């Protein structure tokens, strides 16, 4: 007499094994995908334009209210720069013509006081003696500027945050640029761009 498992039990065992195999394969592919996505950083780029005619009478022009809710207020663009600086966890490298925007200066100083490594390069011009630049120097932030040719200017306008984010555009970080000029800037984490600007910041820093 030959004994064996009923067909229904064999079928159930087969289905159970298939389910285990399918689940295992699914888990493996999920782990591979998660690891791939972790390595592959999602690129994010935003572009902003300033229009000096949009909010000529906005009250925040006088009190620099970062929470201004006017629909076209220029301060909403500047807020993006401020948020990017506020989110720094390691370093802020700034290379701009000058800094005289009180809001931006305040967030830079706050970042430095909470331990962020801050380096600033500005142009050697009359604005080198602005109130904001003096505040940076007084608390210990290293500020460099070119001192070789009075007829040339360090005219770059960019910043690299945590070697991960780039702020770059036409605007100087001034009140004039914020409220009076037609300006633009972008914020991006595109690795190829961040790397190029980081490398050139180091070259300028070591040169001047």
* HSE-up of residue 24 (Cα within 13 Å, Cβ side): 6
Domain that holds residue 32: 1-40
Kind and range of the H or E run holding 33: helix 7-39
Residues 133 and 192 in one domain: yes
Of 79 and 119, more confident: 119
Among residues of the chain, what percentage have pLDDT more than 70?
A: 69
Residues 90 and 16 in one domain: no
What are the pLDDT digits (tens) for 52-64?
776 666 766 666 6
> CB under 8 Å to 121, separation ≥6 — which residues?
94, 95, 96, 143, 144, 145, 154, 156, 201, 204, 205, 208
Residues 106 and 14 in one domain: no
Confidence at 1, pLDDT banded by 50, 70, 90: very low
For 73-157, list the strands marked E by DSSP: 91-95, 117-122, 142-145
R_g (Cα) of the chain, nearest Å: 27
What amino acid positions are annotated as catalytic residues?
Answer: 155, 157, 162
Residues 192 and 159 in one domain: yes
What are the pLDDT digits (tens) for 109-135?
999 999 999 999 998 876 667 789 899
Of 67 and 98, more confident: 98
- Put simply, whether the predicted model's pTM sits higher than 0.85 gets the answer no
Domain count, the chain: 2
């Amino acid at each position: 007499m030959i004994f064996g498992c009923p067909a229904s039990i064999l079928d159930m065992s087969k289905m159970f094994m298939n389910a285990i195999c399918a689940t295992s394969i699914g888990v493996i592919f999920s782990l591979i995908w998660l690891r791939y996505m972790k390595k592959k950083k999602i690129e994010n780029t935003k572009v902003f334009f300033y229009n000096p005619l949009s909010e000529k009478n906005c009250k925040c022009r006088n009190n620099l209210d970062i929470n201004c809710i006017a629909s076209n207020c220029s301060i909403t663009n500047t807020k993006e720069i401020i948020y990017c600086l506020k989110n720094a966890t390691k370093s802020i490298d700034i290379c701009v013509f000058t800094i005289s925007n009180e809001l931006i200066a305040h967030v830079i100083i706050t970042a430095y006081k909470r331990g962020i490594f801050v380096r600033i390069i500005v142009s050697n011009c009359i604005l080198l003696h602005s109130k904001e630049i003096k505040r940076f120097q007084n608390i210990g932030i290293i500020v460099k500027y070119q001192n070789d040719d009075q007829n040339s200017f360090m005219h770059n306008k960019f910043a690299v945050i945590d070697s991960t984010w780039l702020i770059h555009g036409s605007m100087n970080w001034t009140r004039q640029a914020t409220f009076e000029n037609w300006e633009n800037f972008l914020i991006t984490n595109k690795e190829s761009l961040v790397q190029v600007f980081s490398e050139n910041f180091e070259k300028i820093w070591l040169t001047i």
